[in-house]
Amino acid sequence: MFKNIKLMPAPMASLTDLPLREIYIKFGAKAVITEMISSEALHYGKPSDLLIKSLSQHDYSDANFILGAQIFGSDEKKMADAACFISQFPIDFIDINAGCPVKKVIRQHAGAYLIKDYEKFFSICKAVTDSTKLPVTVKMRIGFNSIATNITEICEKLENIGIAALFVHARTRDEWFSGRCHWDIVGNIKSAVKIPVFANGSIDSKEYSDEVIDSTSADGVMIGRAAAHSPWIFSSWQKEAFVIDRSFVSDVMIEHLRKAESIYQEYAAVKLRKQLMLYSRRFPNSKRFKISICNSSTIKETLEAIKRWKNAA
């Protein structure tokens, strides 16, 4: 399934919803993954309308991409139930979150905590793979407080359980998103398993991704924050050249806003505040735009702020 895929955007809470995934696909992403979905809600049969839309409303008329749904939790039965629920939608694979470092997820003994309690980790992965016919992948860290001394053995066990691919953030939980990435560990993991391994962590260009693949022998890379503020990054692999100026970026902002409006209605103006500010971050003199976006609560106000930013010197 991942044979011809060299890169994909990383799933990120509060960002990689349906509209942003569609933007990624537009610019050439061949695989996308949902925001992490709590297994609790799916276990108790209370999925939100927004979740249903997120899982069912991708445009498959030109299906040149694959879609994964990411679930998180710490209970085997609930994770298995979540996988069963998701399997009824047009999803290509299910991803288990074993990488999220935020405290509210760690307190649930989920996300990156699983690398600390790896026996529980194995039980969850086995329960999920047994509950669905879909391929199951894992997004993971290489340790909790420090690099796990048995990280390669953990990955070998995941392969033996039936995990189809590993997306490895080359940092520990305590390193969050800062400091150097431990690419040598990713290389060790790749040498230990036969399933696809994607390297993740601070990759922000095709040139850097090529370096990482060369040094680790990874099958591909997963791009997180760089893709969130520059989704056109995926066009680099398609050899498409865009002039990334205010006019280009403002057009992307408006397209993204319209896609969000179709799902969130007027609330899209509030929902997209963070995303729109990310789009503007690499341009000078964007402080006024960020203030305007934070003060905008309607689609009209947001569009006006974007147009002013587009024409700013």
215-258: per-residue pLDDT in tens?
A: 999 999 999 999 999 999 998 877 767 889 999 999 999 999 99
* H helix intervals, 44-181: 49-56, 76-86, 103-106, 118-131, 151-161
CA dihedral 124, 125, 129, 135 (to 10 degrees): 140
**Above 70 in pLDDT, residue 146?**
yes
Distance from C-alpha of 218 to C-alpha of 220, rounded to nearest angstrom: 5
> Over 70: is that where the pLDDT of 72 sits?
yes
Q: How far apart are CA 44 and CA 117, in angstroms?
A: 25
Which residues are annotated as catalytic?
100
Residue 45 banded pLDDT, cuts 50, 70, 90: confident
Query: Does the pLDDT value for residue 301 go beyond 80?
Result: yes
pLDDT confidence bin for 50, thresholds 50/70/90: confident
313: confidence class by pLDDT, cuts 50, 70, 90? low
CA distance 171 to 200: 9
Work out the pLDDT band at 140, boundaries 50, 70, 90: very high
**pLDDT above 80: residue 150:** yes
- To the nearest 10 degrees (0 to 180), the angle between helices 206-216 and 183-192 is 50
Residue 118 has pLDDT above 70, yes or no: yes
Percent of the chain surpassing pLDDT 70: 97
Grouping H, G, I as helix, E, B as strand and the rest as coil, residue 211 is helix
Instruction: Give the count of alpha carbons within 13 A of 292, CB side only.
Output: 18
pLDDT at 197 over 70: yes
Mean pLDDT of 272-289: 92
**CA 145 – CA 148 distance, rounded (Å):** 8
Dist CA 274 CA 229 (whole Å): 10
In this prediction, residue 62 carries a pLDDT of 61
CB contact at 8 A, 256 and 24: no
Asked if the model's pLDDT at residue 120 lies above 80, the reply is yes
Alpha-carbon torsion angle 17, 21, 23, 26, nearest 10: -160
49 has a pLDDT exceeding 90: no
Domain locations along the chain: 7-238, 246-310
Distance, CA of 313 to CA of 295 (rounded, Å) = 21
| pLDDT at residue 51 in the model | 78
Provide the mean pLDDT of the chain: 93
Closest CA to 278 of 234, 232, 241: 232
Confidence band for 60, pLDDT divided at 50, 70 and 90? low
Residue 141 predicted with pLDDT over 90? yes
Strand partners, 265: none
Q: Which of 187, 188, 197 is nearest to 163 (CA)?
A: 197
Q: Three-state SS for 76?
A: helix
* Record: fold of 7-238: TIM Barrel (3.20.20)
Q: How many CB atoms lie within 10 A of CB 153?
A: 12
What is the pLDDT averaged over residues 38-59? 77
DSSP H/E element including 169 = strand 165-169
User: Token pair for residue 193?
Assistant: 């398993």
User: For residue 61, what pLDDT band results from cuts at 50, 70 and 90?
Assistant: low
pLDDT of residue 229: 92
pTM: 0.94
